[in-house]
Amino acid sequence: MNKLCSMREAISASVKHGSSLVIDGFTHLICFAAGHEIIRQGIKGLTAIRLTPDLVYDQLIEAGAVRKLVFSWAGNPGVGSLHALRRRSEASSSERLELEEYSHFGLLSRLLAASAGLPFWPLSNYQGGDIARVNPSIKTVRCPYTGRELATVPALHPDVAIIHCQRADAEGNAQVWGLLGSQKEVAFAARKVVVVAEEIVPTELIREDPNRTLVPGIIVSHVVHEPWGCHPSFVQGFHDRDNDFYVKWEDISRQPETYRAWLEEFVYGVKDRQGYLSRLETGLLDKLRAKARVCAGVDYGY
Amino acid sequence: MATETLTGPTASERMAHRAAQELRDGDVTFVGIGLPNLACNLARATHAPRLFMIYESGAVGAIPERLPVSIGDPSLVTDSLAVVGQADIFQCMLQRGLIEVGFLGGAQVDRWGNINTTVIGDYANPRIRLPGSGGACEIAVHARRLLIVMRMSKRTFVETCDFVTSPGHRVNGRSRQELGMPGGGPTRIITDLGVLDFDTTGEAVLAEVYPGVTPEQVQQACGWSLRIAPTLRAAPEPDASVLRLLREKLDPKRLYL
């Protein structure tokens, strides 16, 4: 079935007021285009879930789209803080965001449980520290075989997962290479999956290299073709991270006024991703475009 | 060239060099960004060419050709031995017990090597919201040896952490063994003034100082009454070749130095 549609259609069909949502990616393949479209559509009350909420989650928070954040590490990776998050989570804040906090493996285990159709997942972690003390969802169980006490976390089924990939076919069979993050677990855990791709390719090409497929089309509801949809994040083999932007963001986001002005210009002030890209500095995309490092082919013969 | 005079080591260079000394050739190491990353690459360029670097973003056996700007840099993928999902990193590498050395830093550390990267102040009403655990909590639980790398001040070396994100040798009066933690816990705290070891009870003890630093100065920068080893070792200083390597090759843009 052909599931191709625009980002606007994919977001309005899948993300509702009050949805729980993951825009996944671990520094790599973070779909900023999807976050910006959610802001433009004025969707509110979201429970935003991700191990590493970063700039696009902070932008969703600043725009007032997020009610609750479920996370394990929140920052501007390699640079500094998320300032909208800090403004809404410190004692001085008047409009506090609800936070539910894990370690990376704790939150990942919630997604593993959901993706495996199990009610919880055991892990060897959290002994004695304060994370389990402040998060009542983290409990313990005694192993029925060894008697050992293990931490447990409950399955987490996000309403929607948005997964960016290098290439997909129109049915949503999505191929990813480079850092895989938790894209697979997030996709299998979610009730609805939107795949966003740098390239839409014929199904024959997917079938030629089936080991590369991380998310099968049978769990995908919408497919969006959005090249450069991850800027300023990176896509292995397509473009590098725009690190200058991440560094500059520290200053832009520190003051609510400059933060709002940026959102006005690059999110509210444009119609879609093409509009965003056309506002970037001339020559920037060429500068970020990846140099080729093609690996040798694989023989699938038998 | 050989006659060129180099400025002396900065605090960061001292710490990166001292941390590199802790790494043995072949160690399977969980690498963090910043000084740990520099320390690992310095060790690999000098005495530990077969250091096996694993990044929590999924790169296994990485040899980054540029200094990664974050823990998830694309240069970690290129030339790695394997790239796996994060579930595999945490389950099959860390929880499975494959990691010999982990590195952590934080906003606060206490005498037992507990680390706080979550909040300053009360958890429900924090004065400062920090990034949180990430993988730090599980690295502290599982790494066979944990190295803590932090600059020393009364603000960071505290009597009691406001929040224990990553457990050290004793948490709320209980030992790692009582709590059932598989990893060995912190072995050293590498600071800009000297190095703290841990005694058999799990308490940090000042064991090394850099040239020109007195134990009194270290105590001044520590928020608890610091135990001092009967004989202090001299912390090794980076020589000119190491400084050149750090400044010209490993971090030419001075991202972390």
Contacts of B71 in chain A (CB under 8 A): 27, 77-78
Q: What is the pLDDT of residue B255?
A: 83
CB contact under 8 A, B77 and A27: no
Asked if A210 is an interface residue toward chain B (Cβ–Cβ < 8 A), one would say: no
- State which residue of chain A sits closest to B181, comparing Cα positions: A127
The whole model's pTM is what?
0.96
- A166 or A90, which is more confident: A166
Using alpha carbons, list the distances in angstroms from residue A70 to A51, A102, B102, B130, B204. Answer: 8, 8, 26, 15, 35
- Residue ranges making up the domain that contains A66: 4-102+157-288
Whether B56 is catalytic: yes
- The pLDDT value recorded for residue A95 is 85
Domains and CATH numbers, chain B: 11-248 (3.40.1080.10)
Single out the catalytic residue among B4, B13, B22, B56.
B56
pLDDT digits (tens, 9 = 90+) for A229-253: 999 999 999 999 999 999 999 999 9
The domain that contains A20 carries what CATH number? 3.40.1080.10
Min distance A152 CA to chain B CA atoms (Å)? 14
Size of interface A-B (CB pairs under 8 A): 168
A50 in a structural domain:
yes
Which one of A55, A94, A125, A244 makes the best mutation probe of the B interface by having the most chain B beta carbons within 10 Å? A125
CB contacts, 8 Å: A293 with chain B: 78
Residues of A in contact with B74 (CB under 8 A): 28, 178-179, 234, 236, 240-241, 290
Q: Does any domain span residue A165?
A: yes
Sequential DSSP letters for chain A: ---EE-HHHHHHHH--TT-EEEE--SSBS--HHHHHHHHHTT--SEEEEESS--HHHHHHHHTT-EEEEEES--SBTTTB--HHHHHTTSTT-SSPPEEEE--HHHHHHHHHHHHTT-SEEEES--SSSSHHHH-TT-EEEE-TTT--EEEEEE----SEEEEEEEEE-TT--EE--S--TTHHHHHHHSSEEEEEEEEE--HHHHHHSGGGEEE-GGG--EEEE-TTTTTTSBBTTTB---HHHHHHHHHHHHSHHHHHHHHIIIIITSSSHHHHHHTSPTTHHHHHBPPP-PPPP-----
Cβ <8 Å between A104 and B123: no
pLDDT tens, N- to C-terminus, chain B (257 residues) = 455 678 999 999 999 999 999 999 999 999 987 888 899 999 999 999 999 999 999 999 999 888 888 889 999 999 999 999 999 999 999 999 999 999 999 999 999 999 999 999 999 999 999 999 999 999 999 999 999 999 999 999 999 999 999 999 999 999 999 999 999 999 999 999 999 999 999 999 999 999 999 999 999 999 999 999 999 999 999 999 999 999 999 999 888 88
Residues A253-274 have a mean pLDDT of 98
pLDDT over 60 at A150, yes or no: yes
As given in the structure block, the two tokens for residue B240 are 């000119």
Q: Which of A52, A88, A101, A127 to mutate to test the interface with B (most CBs of B within 10 A)?
A: A127
Q: Is residue A53 part of a domain?
A: yes
What does the pLDDT look like over A77-115, one tens digit per residue?
Answer: 888 999 999 999 998 888 899 999 999 999 999 999 999
* Peptide linkage before A232 cis (omega within 30 of 0): yes
- Phi, psi for residue A271 in degrees, rounded to 5: -85, -40
Tell me how many domains chain A contains: 1
In a domain, A151, yes or no: no
Residue B233 has phi, psi (to 5 degrees) of -85, 155
Q: Is residue A283 part of a domain?
A: yes
Residue window 31-90, chain B: list those with CB within 8 Å of chain A. Answer: 33, 56-59, 69-74, 76-78, 83-87, 90
Q: What is the pLDDT of residue B10?
A: 94
Q: Is A191 a domain residue?
A: yes
**Which pLDDT score, from 0 to 100, does residue A40 have?**
98
Chain B hits for A74, Cβ within 8 Å: 131-132
pLDDT at A246: 96
* Mean pLDDT, residues A126-138 taken together: 97
pLDDT at A296: 92
Q: Domain for residue A59, yes or no?
A: yes
3-state secondary structure of B13: helix
For chain A, the C-alpha Rg in angstroms (whole number) is 20
> Which residues between 173 and 192 in chain B have a beta carbon less than 8 angstroms from any beta carbon of chain A?
174, 176, 179-182
Question: Strand, coil or helix: what is B162?
Answer: coil
CB contact under 8 A, B78 and A293: yes
Spatial contact of A228 and A276, defined as CB atoms under 8 Å apart: no
Q: How many whole angstroms from its chain centre is CA B15?
A: 9
Beta bridge partners of B145: B101
Confidence (pLDDT) at B3: 52
Asked if A104 reaches chain B (Cβ–Cβ under 8 Å), the answer is yes
Torsion of CA A114, A119, A125, A128, to 10 degrees: 140
> Nearest Cβ partner of A125 from B78, B122, B138?
B138
Asked if the Cβ–Cβ distance from A28 to B136 is below 8 Å, we say no
Q: Is residue A299 part of a domain?
A: no
